[in-house]
Structure 1
């Protein structure tokens, strides 16, 4: 089971937990705190993280999200466990369960308002900020089955778009501006999803299996192995021609390598095994 409380987040449990409607797909809702109104002509200093933390634990507890995230410092505070509903959206009686319609409905409040000023720099959109901590936050939300998709489009402005049918049937990320029964226009923008890391190429060639080494097999792997056997002083080749083709010279040379490792008898038959191969350190090709 994923972590109910995001690793590394400050735990600020406000109690009042309530279950979600798990017959619906998993969702996340993106908000900005928008706690000051500023313009390009009149920017304003960002409100301190501690102020919002106090607010959501005190007078604003009735509007607390799951997560308060500071994209400038990377600080994260969590007020509800992932499987509870939180309260940062309007949820009208008798309508769709806006704060519960999902296996999880994780609500994220980013500490931001348009044209906030931080250390002398003014930021027009959330996506312009350093977005510190976003990758870890996104990974935690994704671990709860929330797809890295925007069913109604990634927010690019402060224009609301809402569809109750999409909301109820499609999992993924929604802006507050896309949640039914609500009239807010935030977040205006949101950082892109963390890309999956590109698997690094191993330094050494993985063992291709004993059946790979058959007479006449041509491969750059065999050529790389040939060079390593010569470098290890196990050169039993009659010729350096066709170094990429498995043959009797390879078998004799590999048997010499096996004997160098201490193998004897049938264990030094010249056919590579996984252990001896790993110790040969054949470069990845």
Structure 2
């Protein structure tokens, strides 16, 4: 039976070697991972037969490598040019929003968890072509710290996207800057699909293509996803799926149009990319993916009522002829509040601070809510304290 080297890759990418284990041990680990309720998920190395990974909910990655396998180079990064158009390609997060080729775009997303060494690819081959996003699924559970364990797996198999996202926790991880290429796509012959367009931002979402991760997911409550959208929009990626909604999985899929892929900007599923054979991300809800927050209408300004104006109105309106008004707009606001309190008949809310309004305001002053004034203090002439109490209950602002 085959023997395996066993190691644990921790969320900080440090590795603990655990010695050799048997085929039976690996088979048992795979059997446990296959149980739907198990807090782990299994994956195999796409290019190294026999190499097995178990992604764990606690963020650790169990790694089993056959002892007779060829020596394994953990990471073999693409050539990484240090300048693009005269601009440095450092992984410093402070470079978010720096101009590249004279046009602004976010390189590092604020608040994203940094995974790996920050360099995964190089400059784009066709920067004059439209910008795009490619959506993948990790084919593992979401929640917990699967983001770290799935991230470790993608690093070990040299298939990193720029971004990884957990729809359950709304956490965002980032492997490399958005203006350089990722490594999650196969080439289309000699055409390097990872380097197609002005940018080709690839997003691995924790989930399975069979059960679209957008089901039951509300982007309005996911600020992490909204930050991803803001970042890709900063590069001019249009809010469209040029190849249509990604196909359901499993299923016949769709034709992977080279002309659409090369000439159109927007969002694509892995299932749409020529030269690739994966069926992810499944039939995700594209309207949710491209969420646009509705602008919050500005709250109407609270009307202001001056206590000095009310006092002046009471002094002029009471002795004048019926219906005389001094500051009718402000008086009417107070009268409507007194009507709502049940202290003034609606027919007297006419903008004139007459004797009925004075009596009603005096009743307000004597009430507990109005301040429980007595004697001369409850004379029906507004003071700032009683007016502020009325204003707080009826949506206006009392001023001196």
Residue 198 of structure 1 and its aligned partner are, at CA, apart by 2.0
The one of 124, 146, 155 equivalent to 1:48 is 146
Residue 68 (str. 1) matches residue 159 (str. 2): no
CA deviation vs aligned residue, 1:224-266 (integer Å, no higher than 9, x gap): 89xx5799437699966xx89xxxxxxxxxxxxxxxxxxxxxx
Residue 45 of structure 1 and its aligned partner are, at CA, apart by 10
Find the counterpart in structure 2 of residue 99 from structure 1.
194
Structure 1 SS opposite 2:193: coil
Residue 52 of structure 1 and its aligned partner are, at CA, apart by 0.9
Residue 28 of structure 1 and its aligned partner are, at CA, apart by 0.2
Partners of 1:15 and 1:108 in 2: CA distance: 16
Partners of 1:231 and 1:17 in 2: CA distance: 70
Structure 1 SS opposite 2:133: strand
Residue 83 of structure 1 and its aligned partner are, at CA, apart by 0.5
CA contact (8 A) 2:106 2:232 kept: no
CA contact (8 A) 1:160 1:185 kept: no
Residue 189 of structure 1 and its aligned partner are, at CA, apart by 2.8
Residue 23 (str. 1) matches residue 128 (str. 2): yes
Find the counterpart in structure 1 of residue 246 from structure 2.
155
- Number of equivalenced pairs: 209
CA deviation vs aligned residue, 1:126-181 (integer Å, no higher than 9, x gap): 11153643222222222221111111112251323321111112111000111111
Residue 138 (str. 1) matches residue 225 (str. 2): no
After superposing on structure 2, the runs of 4+ consecutive aligned residues of structure 1 that deviate more than 6 Å are 44-47
129-138 or 97-106: which moved more? 129-138
Find the counterpart in structure 2 of residue 109 from structure 1.
204
Find the counterpart in structure 2 of residue 84 from structure 1.
180
Using the size of structure 2 for normalisation, the TM-score is 0.46
CA contact (8 A) 2:134 2:270 kept: yes
CA deviation vs aligned residue, 1:257-281 (integer Å, no higher than 9, x gap): xxxxxxxxxxxxxxxxxxxxxxxx8
Superposed CA RMSD in Å reads 3.4
Quickly say closer, same or farther: Cα 1:150–1:60, change in 2 above 3 A.
same
Residue 180 (str. 1) matches residue 274 (str. 2): yes
Find the counterpart in structure 2 of residue 197 from structure 1.
294
Partners of 2:148 and 2:179 in 1: CA distance: 25
Residue 47 of structure 1 and its aligned partner are, at CA, apart by 8.9
Structure 2 SS opposite 1:107: strand
Structure 1 SS opposite 2:214: helix
CA contact (8 A) 2:247 2:254 kept: no
Query: Pairwise mapping of residues 246-285 of structure 1 onto structure 2 (< 5 A)?
Result: none
Quickly say closer, same or farther: Cα 1:181–1:128, change in 2 above 3 A.
same
CA contact (8 A) 2:189 2:275 kept: no
Using the size of structure 1 for normalisation, the TM-score is 0.62
CA contact (8 A) 1:125 1:188 kept: yes
